Amino acid sequence: MGAAFFYHLTDSPLEATLPMLVGKARGAGWRVLVRGKDADLLKRLDDVLWQGPDDGFVPHGLAGGPHDADQPVLLGDVSSDGFGCLMSVAGADVTADEVGALERICILFDGHDVAALEHARRQWKVLTDAGCAAQYWAQEGGRWTKKAEK
């Protein structure tokens, strides 16, 4: 059974945090789904991942292509079957069944967006009420600090 990790973004934007977390997930050997509902956001994240770190790029693809099943990192609003890690961005929903089936769920949300904060709080309640393990991480002075765990 996996766990849901909530990432409250205040110091770093999604475009900086996502590649770091994807790198950690890939380092753990997990195939990663980046789930989002906004096609423009996913395209922007696709561009960010192609730029990658100085020493390379993150191999990935946008869902809907002929090689989706071969992508180590896939961006889209698709089923989490076949993935080890799901990263939810911009309010994409995650289910308790997915938390139970995957190694890790990462829920990234903008700490400066009231609607995003409210959505993350609802997801925390739904998932923890269903018995899912969860951790809440917030940025403080450029560092990640664990603020809560259930």
**Per-domain boundaries in the chain:** 3-149
pTM of the entire structure?
0.94
**CB burial class (10 A; 0-12, 13-18, 19+) of residue 1?**
exposed
- Domain covering 3-149: architecture: 3-Layer(aba) Sandwich (3.40)
Residue-level pLDDT at 1: 72
Nearest to 76 by CA among 87, 66, 85: 87
pLDDT digits (tens, 9 = 90+) for 52-68: 665 567 889 999 989 99
| The pair of three-digit structure tokens given for residue 106, joined into one six-digit string | 């990462």
Asked if pLDDT for residue 146 goes beyond 90, the answer is yes
Name the residue with tokens 């890690």: 85
- Rounded to 5 degrees, φ, ψ at 129 are -65, -25
Question: What mean pLDDT value characterizes the chain?
Answer: 94
